[in-house]
Amino acid sequence: MNAMSNCRILTIALACFAAMAMLSGCMSASGRTGADAQPPINVMVIATLHSAHADNPRYSYDDLYTIVRAFAPDAVGVEIRDEDMHRDANYLAANYPLEMRELARDYGSGATGLDWLGHDLEGRAIPVDYWREQSEIKRLQRDLSKRPDLRSPQVEAAQRQQQQIIQSATAASLNDGRYDKATREYYHALSVELRDTPLAPLSAFYAERDRQIARNASRVIKSLLDRKSPETRVVFVVGADHRAFLIDALVRDFGNKITLVPVVQEKTAR
């Protein structure tokens, strides 16, 4: 065998070795398979109607609780500030929707508070009569209701779409994405309309509250990812106006590490 043949054999061997090394590197970069793989966390984000559940036979409180129970979550996030989760029943009733309080009670240590209500309230209890007498946000909302000149056609159209969906809402229809789309359009149009007006802080608050809720939800998912359980389920229960932004943030932050599970209407035992 001449020197040229030996050189060709060596070149082929080196090429094969390089290909195998590259393939091994690609497998490491894309994640391992088999027993060491981390399966995606199953996440359900449920929009609620707050007090309107009481008068809606198509999507009652019991319908909501049935959906959550059927999902069998390992963790539940609710629209209550985390620092308020263990406060007494009277305090919670004065500040939070019934369904959030009920779920927090039912799931105990498995429940986490997601809400945020302003920098001025961070780390302290909400004062008595805060919403009526002290809240700057409530004052801005009252001022906005007196300013029909700040309600653009885009704001009005998005709100009409929201109301049409709510009027006939079931658990499935409120969570099928149509309300989320209308909500994105409403808050975008509102922020444009309020820009450079004394009411601009209202839009800023709405955006920051959604950001904080999403941040708190992300913390829940990160803690569950660290457990490396074979199958994990988490449900986030929020008012309908928060669902779109929470889903957008979770998809952006976690990608294929989570699987979004659709909300399916369960029949309530009556």
pLDDT, one tens digit per residue, over 57-112 is 999 999 999 999 999 999 999 999 999 999 999 999 999 999 999 999 999 999 99
Quote the pLDDT of residue 17: 44
The verdict on residue 67 lying in a domain is yes
Average pLDDT over residues 208-226: 95
The verdict on residue 23 lying in a domain is no
Quote the pLDDT of residue 227: 76
Quote the pLDDT of residue 48: 98
The verdict on residue 35 lying in a domain is no
The verdict on residue 12 lying in a domain is no
Pick 268 or 42 by higher pLDDT. 42
CA distance 174 to 265: 10
The verdict on residue 34 lying in a domain is no
What are the tens digits of pLDDT across the range 21-35? 443 444 333 344 454
The verdict on residue 212 lying in a domain is yes
What is the span of the domain harbouring residue 74? 40-260
The verdict on residue 113 lying in a domain is yes
Tally of domains in the chain: 1
With a pLDDT cut of 90, the percent of the chain lying above it is 77
The verdict on residue 185 lying in a domain is yes
Quote the pLDDT of residue 67: 97
CA 154 from centroid of its chain's CA atoms: 25
What are the tens digits of pLDDT across the range 126-176? 999 999 989 999 999 999 999 988 889 999 999 999 999 999 999 999 999
- In angstroms, the Cα distances linking 201 to 59, 66, 86, 98, 198 are 33, 38, 30, 28, 7
